[in-house]
Amino acid sequence: MDVDTRLLRYFATVVEEGNLTRAAARLYISQPALTKQIRQLEAQLGVNLFIRSRAGMTPTEAGEALAAHADAVLTAWENALRVTQAATTRAARTLRVGFVASAANERTQPIIADFARRHPGWRVQMRQTEWTDPTAGLATGDVDVALLRLPVPSQGDFDVEVLLTEPRWIALPAGHHLAGNDLIPFQDLYDEPFVATPAGSGEWRDYWLATDEREGHPVRIGAVAHHPDEWLNAIAHGQGISLTPEATTRFYQRPDIVYRPVTGVSHSRIGVARPRTQRDAAVNAFVLSCRAVCRDSTLAADLTMDS
């Protein structure tokens, strides 16, 4: 018997949520459509999978048995798809590079150009992720290599090389009472509401809230943002403020947001990362390009300062 993996995923989500309404919202489909899909799965299997009541959806004995194996089946299928996609991109001589927001800042395009010289006939496919995945697809195997803002969850699973460092600034709504200051001590912001990344981003979220640099002061969360546009709008609307790399001042300028340097917090780091087991020639070439471009740009900046 063949069962559509989509139906199995719907089933697993209903089990996790225990409620059709919440499951439908999570799957971005209507509740009637989800109900229809669950009934279709039950008809294919010839069993009732749930006991339905006002309290929610409780798996039957058959439903519990299926739930015990559903995650493993879905994970195996996802891994198979990733391996297939990776093979496809290799055949097409394509390197998948994950990134979050500004990647390696202004060095990104020179890195890609340098890679093209080192690995003729190959192209780079840049894949941006939302802030729910600070590893930019590296943890899930959706990319071959990534340009990341450190630290990231499970960083020990990757080979990471730091390429750049830059100060963290603070983003404020233009009408904020500190917006006119040239320099802001982080201590003056302890009691302000902050715009945070999703809780699932783990230590990456904590880093951008500077939880370890607050001298024990708790964080106030004013809003949660999944990507730069959501983040910018939350700040502009006065829902909170946020630490951000200095590069943001160049890439995301808006009249209703101001950026100010802030003291009392560590610098942000950009790294190139790949799985520890990855020893692919194209990935090696990309890492070499990252090193070369960032080293040359740093030397050029040092010479400019000395002159």
* More confident position, 89 or 162: 162
pLDDT of residue 92: 60
pLDDT of residue 25: 77
pLDDT band of residue 228 (cuts 50, 70, 90) is very high
Stretch 24-44: mean pLDDT, rounded? Answer: 85
Q: How does pLDDT run across 234-263, given as a tens digit for each residue?
A: 999 999 999 999 999 999 999 999 999 999
Percentage of the chain modeled with pLDDT above 90: 61
Q: Is the pLDDT of residue 26 over 90?
A: no
Average model confidence (pLDDT) for the chain? 88
- pTM of the full predicted structure? 0.70
Percentage of the chain modeled with pLDDT above 70: 90
Stretch 147-174: mean pLDDT, rounded? Answer: 94
Q: Is the pLDDT of residue 195 over 60?
A: yes
- The three state secondary structure string of the chain is CCCCHHHHHHHHHHHHHCCHHHHHHHHCCCHHHHHHHHHHHHHHHCCCCEEEECCEEEECHHHHHHHHHHHHHHHHHHHHHHHHHHHHHHHCCEEEEEECCCCCHHHHHHHHHHHHHHCCCCEEEEEECCCCCCCCCCCCCCCCEEEEEECCCCHHHEEEEEEEEECEEEEEECCCCCCCCCCEEHHHHCCCEEEECCHHHCHHHHHHCCHHHCCCCCCEEEEECCCHHHHHHHHHCCCCEEEEECCHHHHCCCCCEEEEEEECCCCEEEEEEEECCCCCHHHHHHHHHHHHHHHHHHHHHHHHHHC
pLDDT of residue 299: 45
pLDDT of residue 302: 43
pLDDT band of residue 305 (cuts 50, 70, 90) is very low
Stretch 281-307: mean pLDDT, rounded? Answer: 72
